[in-house]
A and B are shown apart, each in its own frame.
Chain A
Amino acid sequence: MAFLILQNISKTFGNTKAVIDFNLEVEKGEFVSFLGPSGCGKTTTLRMIAGFELPSSGHIWLDGEEITFQRPNRRNIGMVFQAYALFPNLTVAQNIGFGLQVRKMERRQIEERVREMLSLIHLESYADRYPYQLSGGQQQRVALARALAIRPRLLLLDEPLSALDAKIRLELRQEIRRIQQTLGITTIYVTHDQEEALSLSDRVVVMNQGQIEQIGTPLEIYNYPQTEFVASFVGQLNLLPITALDLAAHTCRVAGQTVRFAPDERYHPSLERPRLAIRPEEIRLGLAEGANVLHGVVEAVIFLGAIIRLRVNLGDGILISVDQFNERSFVPPRIGEKVTLHFPIHACWLI
């Protein structure tokens, strides 16, 4: 039996279905992310695990015990919020010790646990500060320590990095992963940032409009997206309209040019309006033996630092994005220049 089981969970607010038939099993020590755009139901699902919302139907089990309707303060689940939610009237040490005090732990033990937590988040010298004296990143680390101090059965993080600067976000992301690995604590992480989900998680649950689109490892999610939504939400994706399709020969026509694709049982393209999917980073400039070749005219050159993104018109107004790694010697094509593109046959698939 899995450590955390969500079975047929649904949640309706008035007429809106926030979560529809959500099923998930999480193993002990696993790091699972809920990824999706805002309003997709990921936070609602997390809040149902925490006990702040009650499911309209379905069951939740934690460590063999049904907790569906258990009060949130009885669940022993640690939670970290986007807005930090540190108690402004308490010092860092008192914040971390709050849950232990509620549990009527002895003072000496509380002090010891607080020290241990402070060293875990590298804020030993901040014990007597108040939350308003800390930076956002420090506050969130204290919030993490506070949630972990009670030795929770499960750690829930609700977009914990969304309120922070890009650089701090990256730092804290690594910190969260390190702490999770050190303690081996089962973790659910809610985010709308695909990079966070992919870099942190053992498994990712991609959600859209209250439903699970796909569950898989970060690699599976990125390389073998099961739905059009997953393909376009996670990473960049070109979706090219097809004018003619030959399923037997595994060829199709895109903007009057022939493209071969590899057969793949994982995919069942819609035959009404099939489209060719290909990631921009799979496409290279120039010709190559045995690869698909497309011709077009450069419409835009977008400089993104490590990457230079070209928008190429293949004809009939069909645009394709092409990502080139930036090298110092690389001279990007000019706008209006004719270019030849190639990509491996296995890199593209039908949706």
Chain B
Amino acid sequence: MRRYLGLLWSWFWMIFGWLYFLVPLLATFLFSLRAKKDALSFLAYERVFKDPNFWSTFAFSLQIGFITILAGLVLIVPTAYWIRLRLPRLRAVTEFISMLPFVVPAIVLVFGLIRVFSGAPFFLTNTFTGTYTVLVAAYVVLALPYMYRAIDTGLAAIDVRTLTEAAQSLGAGWPTILFRVIIPNLRVSMISAAFLTLATVMGEFTIASFLVGIKAFGPYMSLVGQNKTYESSSLAIISFALTWAFMGLIQLFSRGRAEAAVAGAH
């Protein structure tokens, strides 16, 4: 009887939790279907997808996202590797630094960046390329917690030091060790770091709106939200779907490997 009650209780909380998450989402979704009077339709979605600004801002942020991922990986993979290999005492420090973006508000970060990089000796914000560089740099900082965590966890799963030494004793130099031993074993964590970064960049508002304004996806979504009732709901659902798609892709990539492992065992 007690067990039965416990089961009931846990089901109750689970259903409660689901409702808490799903009801607003469902309400938004239903609302987004009411663009046409007295009928359910995908009109709001049609309008969003027909808006050239939707596609241009989406493409812009996607590009910035990819560059951010590349820059972040190039910066963080060798750094995290070297810290694990040779400077383990620095791990606490780097972990703290990687958490700073959670502590420093984005608005502070972007004002600081503009102050430093709009005057002498760096006139970066005077040109498009310069501004994009500052944007990517800011996003690398913003993505640092996700990236560093993911990569460091991946490194923890392999015996970095012994694998490095084994490769060294077989004659391998640093590039070979990094590209043939370390990076192939970090594939899954690099992919999840990449998707988390992409999701962050796609939805980011504060920094983008101050540096590039309406060119980026985040400010565009916000503008639509302020001006168009139904379209804003449909955008919310679209961005939700996007985030979930990214998470699904992470799952797919990490599971793909596990399944291959099991299949290979036969």
Contacts and interface: CB of A to CB of B under 8 A. Distances in A.
Given A102-B176, A132-B261, A133-B265, A87 B169 contact: no
Interface in B165-185: 165-173, 176, 180-181, 184-185
B46 interface: no
B257 to A, nearest CB: 10
21 contacts: A73-B172, A74-B171, A76-B171, A78-B169, A79-B166, A79-B169, A81-B165, A83-B159, A85-B159, A85-B163, A86-B166, A88-B185, A89-B181, A98-B170, A99-B172, A102-B170, A129-B264, A130-B261, A133-B264, A147-B170, A150-B171
Interface of A: 50-52, 71-79, 81, 83, 85-89, 98-99, 102-103, 129-130, 132-133, 143, 146-147, 150, 156
Q: How large is the interface on B (under 10, 10 to 19, 20 to 34, 35 or more residues)?
A: 20 to 34
A102 B184 contact: no
Q: Which of A76, A79, A147 has the most CB of B within 10 A?
A: A79
Given A102-B176, A130-B264, A132-B261, A88 B169 contact: no
Interface of B is mostly: helix
Given A83-B159, A102-B176, A130-B264, A150 B165 contact: no
Given A87-B181, A133-B264, A102 B171 contact: yes
A146 B261 CA distance: 22
Contacts of A85: 159, 162-163, 165-166
Interface of B: 158-159, 162-163, 165-173, 176, 180-181, 184-185, 261, 264-265
A133 B265 CA distance: 6
A181 B214 CA distance: 75
Nearest to B173: A73
A292 B185 CA distance: 66
B53 to A, nearest CB: 44
B168 A52 contact: yes
Contacts of A78: 169-170
A82 B164 CA distance: 14
Nearest to B157: A88
